[in-house]
Amino acid sequence: TAGFSEKHACCFEDCKDVIAKAVTLAHPKDDTMFCLFVDASKDHWGIMLTQTDPEMLKKRDIADQGHEPLAFLSGTFRGAQQRWAIIEKEAFPIMEATIRLKHFLLRDKGFTIFTDHRNLVYIFDPERRAVNEAKHTSDRLERWTWRLSPFGT
Q: Tell me: the pLDDT tens digits for 31-76?
A: 999 999 999 999 999 999 999 999 998 888 888 999 999 999 999 9
Contact predicate 68/48, CB 8 Å: no
pLDDT tier at 18, thresholds 50, 70, 90 = confident
> Count of residues for the chain?
153
Q: How far apart are CA 150 and CA 153, in angstroms?
A: 8
Q: What is the pTM of this model?
A: 0.76
Helix (H, G, I), strand (E, B) or coil at 45: strand
Contact predicate 36/105, CB 8 Å: yes
Query: Mind listing the domains of the chain with CATH numbers?
Result: 24-151 (3.10.20.370)
Greater confidence, 117 or 25?
25
Q: How far apart are CA 82 and CA 95, in angstroms?
A: 16
In the chain, pLDDT over 90 holds for what percent of residues?
48
pLDDT score for 43: 95
pLDDT score for 1: 47
pLDDT tier at 88, thresholds 50, 70, 90 = confident
pLDDT score for 34: 97
Helices (H) and strands (E) in the chain, counts: 4, 4
Given strand 68-76, what is the order of strands in its sheet? 68-76, 44-52, 33-40, 111-114
Cβ-based neighbours of 98, under 8 Å, separated by 6 or more = 105, 147, 148, 151
Over residues 142-146, the mean pLDDT reads 74
Helix 86-100, helix 135-148: angle, nearest 10? 30
